[in-house]
Amino acid sequence: MEWPRVDRTKLTFASLDDPSDEKEYRSTKTVEERLQAVEMMRRMAYGEGAVTARLQRVLEIVERSSGGVSAVEDRSPRESERG
């Protein structure tokens, strides 16, 4: 999807105390249009190719000596995290 380019030469300053019509404007948009706006703002803030590290939880199934099975979180460093 092609995103509009941001014209960074024009700036508008306003007080956070000033009344805003933002809520009314956004309520006229569809859910898809609102999500596209959020994605555009995310890309403006973090860049096109910015990938943040994600937390991963890996469960490992172990067999207990009593014969039962339980799940424990694997806290060992991944191959890619080892020096």
Determine the pLDDT at residue 80.
Answer: 56
Domain ranges (residues) in the chain? 1-76
Give per-residue pLDDT as tens, 57-77.
777 777 777 655 555 555 555
pLDDT at 28: 94
- Residue-wise pLDDT for 5-57, tens only, equals 777 788 788 888 888 888 888 899 999 999 999 988 888 787 776 666 666 67
The torsion of the CA quartet 44, 17, 30, 34, rounded to 10 degrees, works out to 20
Identify the pLDDT of residue 71: 57
